[in-house]
Structure 1
Amino acid sequence: MYEFLHGIAALVLLAYTAEFLFSLSDDPREPPRVRPTIPLIGHVLGIMRGGPTYYTETGNSTSAEMHSLGIFNYKIYVSTSSRLLPMIQKQSKSLSFRPFLQITARKHGDASDKTYEIYGGDLTYHLSHAVRTSLAPGPHLDEQNLRMGKRVLIEIDDLLNRGGPFEARNIHLLEWKRHLVVQASSCGVYGDQHPLLDPKGMAEITAHLAGLDIFGKRHEQRKVVYDAYTKYCRELPNDGSELAREHKRVIREAGVDELDYAKQASLFTITVFSNTAPTFYWTVWEVFSRPGILAEIRDERPSEGVMSTLAFRKVMTDTMLDGRYLLKAGNFIQMPGHLIHSDTSLWEEKGAAALPPSGFVAWGAPPHLCPARQFATVEVLIATALLVVRPDLQPHGDAWDKFPALNYKDLSTLLNPRKDVCISVGVSDNWVGKWSLEMGESRSRVPLASG
């Protein structure tokens, strides 16, 4: 027993000693270090436990506009100030998001050593340019939006046609919304015969996207998704999007083989689905949990779709920010949106309801704005509009939870609810009939979805 206690004491002493030794390399010009409760791994545990709210906790422990979180020999520089945002944006070469594309290619795309090396070169630049161009407002995006919208209509028709004409339908809201987003987004990007039509593939991608996979136990789920994309990507169908064609062209021309290309194509399941589904969920939750807003929208038209995001970048070279904060190369910088959105120097001591919608950093920070923001917003708006006017949604128990708990273990930057909601779906008599969708042409390079 004493030996065990002595061993624990020695381990704790070693951890504190290592934490102290790592801190000796701190430059006095760096943002002040916030020490964890548990040395070495405390910040990792805090981020896993609290997600983005952990940065609020650490930010409240110092008056500085930036602070450092030490994790072994690495640091995360956390900016809690809206004043520093423009300065960080101007340093896009030295404070870059691109290294994470290479990490993602290996972590979630099972990239071979050769492909991983290719992603460390100019491929990410050319790929980002091709994706932004393909998703810019214009005829290609119009075609993609139309395919997506038609699939949304099919999914809602299917929902309302379940059971008898006067029979209530019960669904789990988040589960159904994930299904709709996967099917509609996939139709938009990959065509009607997209890789995730198989219900098994749908189940596996949902499991793959849910939570952290520290021990790599979700390899089998990923393999099902990889196999579906490998079969699809051998020859892209004619109704696939310009985005899918350009994505394949750029990656293959860079020297990535056919198998690795298909695995990288499956990453769209993360970038497109993981954040659009919770965005759709919370948009519908906000509308239907407020009867006054729901009635107003039904009298007019749906006009809102909101998404929140976190900005994470790597420090490529030593960078002096604002003449005050030294950011050392090899470390990381985090700009948590929640802290900036609730900055009282901007909004004063006002309630959340009084904050202007234009005040939210909805799609990241330039120059790394979400390239799919137009597509995602249109998808959320179409689906929300159809749900507002066609069905009646009522949670079991007849009341919406005003403060639903969040799942901080999700991969998405906009968090999902911790508990799904069981919903009764009724048909609104005012809008029974056959529905179709018409899509207008893009007339502006910066439409509503860029707000």
Structure 2
Amino acid sequence: MVDNAAFIGLATLVVFFYLIQKITTISLSREEPPLLKPRVPLIGHIIGLLRHEAAYFPILRARAKTPAVTMPLLNEKDYVIFSPHMTQQAMRHRNLDFLDVAMVFNKSVAGISDRGMAKSAERGPNTYVPEAMAAIKTGLMGQNLYRTNDALLAYVASQLNDIGAGVEGLHVPSLWLWMRGMITMATTEALYGQANPFRDDPEGLDSLWGFDDAVAQMLTMPGPLARAGARHRDRVVSTLRPYFEARLHRNDDASKFVALPSDVSVKHNWVGDDLCKSGVMSLWASTTNSIAALFWTLTNVYLHPGLIERLRGEILPHVTFSEQDGKRKATLNIRQIEKQCPVLVGCQRESVRSNSHMVARRAITADTLLTDEDGTSYLLKKGSNVMWSAKVAHKLPDVWGADTDDFNPERFVTEPEDKDTEKKRRTAYMPFGGGAHLCPGRQLALDEILGLVSALVIGFEIEGLYPENVKTGRMMMASGISKPARDGDGGKVTLKRREGWEDVQWSFACYP
């Protein structure tokens, strides 16, 4: 009886695993990217993504023998592209749809209502999504961009001007948290104008960063397991609600980046909490990656002392001095710095290259062929998704050199003698997305980085900054640039005015 029972049990297990294998077996055509099997059968890739998040893609790249693979996820499959050449094609291909992926984000993360989701699903001219996207782009172009930058950097200047000239300077328990708090509030001042609702409710910004920390969980976990993120999001909504209910986005001093998309929302009856939740997402998108990029640019500069004097010599010609209320006023011209300070811009680009881990995902709406540099084509089948990773592209030794893990701004300052290498680097560098979905806020982010880093390099010393206290944190799937580990814990520093700059009041010129 025991032997029979054991036999029956074993037979049952064999049948069970056979059925599971049958159900989850992925069928591939010869034209599709080859299958990259998980190390743990069935669920290995799911475990890898949950455990490593965006850091899983370099792990996959190390195992892959081809420029694209098929990644089985139970009975479904995603394609993963490692080749920058194919990635550039994917970014621009009309069959690879971002909006289907954005719909999932709107529901899971933004918490948009069913009525709002129905509006988002409408396609064609004069519908909500294309009009809103056009409004966002217009709000961050030309004079609209310069005005927003001017307001943001005016707040930054006010904070720098409050740093005393005494020998003690400003003691900052965490450089990251100090910078994050200052730039987040500066962003709200620039976006919402004098009616900025976060002036009277700064705790709402703490919830914004609590939300940021939970976005990846909201994307991957069922709603009941992601309640913390929803609570943080709704806390920010409560701050924004009176602002949008009173239509204060129509005030003259509100950024067009807020005003124009909000008017499109009202036009399409995308109102109430859906409008506020869209506001949360705009504020989050304006801060989550740009402030991290600013932090890494600043710390990389100050942790490489040889760069400081070089940058001071490069930036100083673009500072003009005047007298105001008996004090020296120093004005940094952002447009000149962007065009005529290649080392500073190189530091920003290299910092982004080193710390960007963006994972892009597109829904495949029709069978699609992508072709690599050697002429090999791969078929991506309708109904699946395709992904690619900036971390993979930004760390390829054959593109960036053997020192790819080192900070070396010369990569972006001096053009390679080999034109093929230069072309490869242009193709592989993808910090802001690409194609039809190039980040519209990239210039706003660049200006805030160039502005604050220039002012600090010229006018301030930072004492107490050490490499061992500046470590990279999680590579979250929903963000594009890593934050420092443990919220910068251990990054205690002192900011002091440089000798000869004690009495300077700072300002920024953002217009051409």
After TM superposition, the score normalised by the length of structure 2 is: 0.77
Identity %: 21
Deviation track 1:371-402 (CA, whole Å, cap 9, x = no partner) reads 0011111011111112212332123xx63239
Q: Tell me which residue corresponds to 1:448.
A: none
> Are residue 433 (structure 1) and residue 434 (structure 2) matched?
no
Deviation track 1:30-87 (CA, whole Å, cap 9, x = no partner) reads 2112122233432233223323331111122121110121222332211111221332
8 A Cα contact 2:169 2:494, kept in partner? no
Segments of 5+ residues of structure 1 without an aligned counterpart are 443-451
Match of 2:137 among 132, 136, 139: 132
Q: Counterpart of 1:147 in structure 2: which amino acid?
A: A
> Are residue 216 (structure 1) and residue 226 (structure 2) matched?
yes
8 A Cα contact 1:191 1:240, kept in partner? yes
What SS does the corresponding residue of 1:84 show, helix, strand or coil?
helix
Residues 271-286 of structure 1 aligned to structure 2 (within 5 Å): 271-286=285-300
8 A Cα contact 1:274 1:411, kept in partner? no
Match of 2:280 among 246, 266, 286: 266
Q: Tell me which residue corresponds to 2:329.
A: none
8 A Cα contact 2:70 2:80, kept in partner? yes
What SS does the corresponding residue of 1:182 show, helix, strand or coil?
helix
User: Is the alpha carbon distance of 1:343 and 1:402 closer, same or farther for their aligned partners in structure 2, counting shifts above 3 Å?
Assistant: farther
Deviation track 1:343-387 (CA, whole Å, cap 9, x = no partner) reads 344345455438722642232222211100111110111111122
Match of 2:156 among 137, 149, 152: 152
> Are residue 311 (structure 1) and residue 333 (structure 2) matched?
no
User: Is the alpha carbon distance of 1:130 and 1:40 closer, same or farther for their aligned partners in structure 2, counting shifts above 3 Å?
Assistant: farther
Superposed CA RMSD in Å reads 2.9
Q: Counterpart of 1:203 in structure 2: which amino acid?
A: D
8 A Cα contact 1:208 1:221, kept in partner? yes
User: Is the alpha carbon distance of 1:127 and 1:39 closer, same or farther for their aligned partners in structure 2, counting shifts above 3 Å?
Assistant: farther
> Are residue 257 (structure 1) and residue 268 (structure 2) matched?
no
What SS does the corresponding residue of 2:505 show, helix, strand or coil?
coil
Q: Distance in 2 between matches of 1:371 and 1:26?
A: 37
- Offset, 1:133: 1.8
User: Is the alpha carbon distance of 1:18 and 1:356 closer, same or farther for their aligned partners in structure 2, counting shifts above 3 Å?
Assistant: farther
Q: Counterpart of 1:79 in structure 2: which amino acid?
A: I
Deviation track 1:272-327 (CA, whole Å, cap 9, x = no partner) reads 11111111110111101100012211222262223334332221222122273221
> Are residue 401 (structure 1) and residue 468 (structure 2) matched?
yes
Match of 1:320 among 369, 387, 397: 369
What SS does the corresponding residue of 1:346 show, helix, strand or coil?
helix
Q: Tell me which residue corresponds to 2:327.
A: none
- Offset, 1:271: 0.9
Match of 1:346 among 388, 395, 399: 399
- Offset, 1:167: 4.9
Q: Distance in 2 between matches of 1:404 and 1:48?
A: 21
Match of 2:387 among 328, 334, 351: 334
Q: Tell me which residue corresponds to 1:415.
A: 482
Q: Tell me which residue corresponds to 1:364.
A: 433
User: Is the alpha carbon distance of 1:339 and 1:19 closer, same or farther for their aligned partners in structure 2, counting shifts above 3 Å?
Assistant: farther
Segments of 5+ residues of structure 2 without an aligned counterpart are 316-340, 413-424
Q: Distance in 2 between matches of 1:21 and 1:295?
A: 63
8 A Cα contact 1:209 1:410, kept in partner? no
When structure 1 is superposed on structure 2, of 95-104 and 223-232 the one drifting more is 95-104
Q: Tell me which residue corresponds to 1:449.
A: none
What SS does the corresponding residue of 1:267 show, helix, strand or coil?
helix
Q: Counterpart of 1:263 in structure 2: which amino acid?
A: K
8 A Cα contact 1:99 1:314, kept in partner? yes
User: Is the alpha carbon distance of 1:139 and 1:409 closer, same or farther for their aligned partners in structure 2, counting shifts above 3 Å?
Assistant: closer
8 A Cα contact 1:43 1:71, kept in partner? yes
Q: Counterpart of 2:260 in structure 1: which amino acid?
A: E
> Are residue 295 (structure 1) and residue 309 (structure 2) matched?
yes
Residues 82-93 of structure 1 aligned to structure 2 (within 5 Å): 82-91=84-93, 93=94
> Are residue 390 (structure 1) and residue 459 (structure 2) matched?
yes
Q: Tell me which residue corresponds to 1:60.
A: 62
8 A Cα contact 2:473 2:482, kept in partner? yes
Instruction: Tell me the number of residue pairs that the alignment of Structure 1 and Structure 2 aligns.
Output: 432
User: Is the alpha carbon distance of 1:13 and 1:262 closer, same or farther for their aligned partners in structure 2, counting shifts above 3 Å?
Assistant: farther
Deviation track 1:103-148 (CA, whole Å, cap 9, x = no partner) reads 2222232211010111112322222222112212x11111111101
When structure 1 is superposed on structure 2, of 403-412 and 219-228 the one drifting more is 403-412
Q: Distance in 1 between matches of 2:91 and 2:203?
A: 42
Q: Counterpart of 1:104 in structure 2: which amino acid?
A: F
Deviation track 1:204-250 (CA, whole Å, cap 9, x = no partner) reads 11211114334213222222101111111122233101121111121
> Are residue 232 (structure 1) and residue 281 (structure 2) matched?
no
When structure 1 is superposed on structure 2, of 348-357 and 371-380 the one drifting more is 348-357
User: Is the alpha carbon distance of 1:135 and 1:16 closer, same or farther for their aligned partners in structure 2, counting shifts above 3 Å?
Assistant: farther
Q: Distance in 1 between matches of 2:300 and 2:35?
A: 38
Q: Tell me which residue corresponds to 1:100.
A: 101
User: Is the alpha carbon distance of 1:347 and 1:117 closer, same or farther for their aligned partners in structure 2, counting shifts above 3 Å?
Assistant: same
Q: Distance in 1 between matches of 2:197 and 2:100?
A: 28
More helix by share: 2
The structure with more radius of gyration:
2
User: Is the alpha carbon distance of 1:74 and 1:195 closer, same or farther for their aligned partners in structure 2, counting shifts above 3 Å?
Assistant: farther
Q: Distance in 2 between matches of 1:113 and 1:152?
A: 40
What SS does the corresponding residue of 1:430 show, helix, strand or coil?
coil
What SS does the corresponding residue of 1:256 show, helix, strand or coil?
coil
Q: Distance in 2 between matches of 1:402 and 1:81?
A: 34
Q: Distance in 1 between matches of 2:169 and 2:300?
A: 26
User: Is the alpha carbon distance of 1:21 and 1:32 closer, same or farther for their aligned partners in structure 2, counting shifts above 3 Å?
Assistant: farther
- Offset, 1:257: 2.5
Q: Tell me which residue corresponds to 1:375.
A: 444
When structure 1 is superposed on structure 2, of 170-179 and 25-34 the one drifting more is 25-34
